[in-house]
Structure 1
Amino acid sequence: MIVQLTGAVRYSITLDPTVWIFDDRKIIFDEAFNKKSQTKEIEVDELKNASERFNRELNLERIKPPVNKSISKYEREKILKNTYVMPIKDFLTTSEIKKEATQARILTTNGDIILSLDSLTNSLLLFAIEGKPVSVEGPVHLYFGDGSNKDNPIKGINKIAIE
């Protein structure tokens, strides 16, 4: 249930979609292709970040180390009912794609698919259906950021090779 990200990258990484359910970067599938919803979410996040910075500056002498917030029962139930996607952009940034790279080869159980780096960078990986890992043709399905393949995602992905 893992996907390797290799090839013309500085760091080859192994993606484990089974742990993304607890990642704050995940997006509810139904909201992923709704640009209006994403814009509103970004604005709310920016406001929240600004308010946290302000509070930190006022309370510099009382800073405490961060504490992992436990998930409430309501949040747990919500997580287990939704279908989620994860933007792949952060993983590509972490792997540090080499300058000579021009494309990505998606190795699937049904053959290889070639994508431009731009297309891959803006893509989303479906990793959970109703809170459970993708088991049919998983571990992830790839959706283009514009939603153009929403009805026909790339499935059965085993490896992403940057070329």
Structure 2
Amino acid sequence: MELIIHITGKVNYQITLDPSVWIFDDRKVDLDTYFLEKKEKADELEEYTKSISKHWDREIMEGAVFPPTLKTERKYEKQKMMEGTFGIPLEPFILNAEPQEGAKSLVIEHNEGETELPLNEAFKLILGFSKHGKQLTDGGPVHVYYGDGSNHENPLKGIKQFIIK
């Protein structure tokens, strides 16, 4: 099993993906909850204002409450990384490869053959790279999930490379 994956084809830069380092990437998503959550693009400034307002109101009513110690937070994050099931969006990697003008689709080469998607749908793909804290060895190094979660129970496995056409 090849542990790295390439993005090639009609791109300005060929990209090599190494899923073994994504556990430290801030863009990772928890696949146990990702497809269950409602997808809404919220106004970040509005969300920030609401959260600060809520915090301020609580401090006025209850007094200041100090957060848990940093040591406790680190332990929880480490445990989550050791036991979690994670994925990462494919979009930033496609954007870094810079598809050339005229590129219309993404071909996913895998053990079962090839799957071709329009490029605008490829931006929504999620690459699963970890299951219960372990690298994917069965059908790995990544599993491909559609952005709408329609193949959540049966993702594309054995990914060899991505080709932009």
Shift of 1:34: 2.9
Residue 119 of structure 1 pairs with residue 121 of structure 2: yes
Residue 139 of structure 1 pairs with residue 147 of structure 2: no
* CA–CA separation in structure 2 for the residues paired with 1:136 and 1:41: 37
Q: Secondary structure at the match of 1:80?
A: helix
TM-score, normalised on structure 2?
Answer: 0.77
TM-score, normalised on structure 1?
Answer: 0.78
Partner of 1:86: 88
Higher alpha-carbon deviation: 110-119 or 93-102: 110-119
Q: Secondary structure at the match of 1:19?
A: helix
Shift of 1:40: 8.6
Partner of 1:28: 30
Which residue identity lines up with residue 81 of structure 2 in the other structure?
A: I
Q: Which has the larger radius of gyration?
A: 2
Partner of 1:159: 161
Shift of 1:73: 2.8
Shift of 1:18: 0.6
Q: Percent identity?
A: 40
Q: How does 1:44-63 map to 2 (within 5 A)?
A: 47=48
Which residue identity lines up with residue 30 of structure 2 in the other structure?
A: I
Aligned length: 144
Consecutive unaligned residues in structure 1, runs of 5 or more = 52-69
Consecutive unaligned residues in structure 2, runs of 5 or more = 53-70
Which residue identity lines up with residue 91 of structure 2 in the other structure?
A: K
* CA–CA separation in structure 1 for the residues paired with 2:17 and 2:121: 19
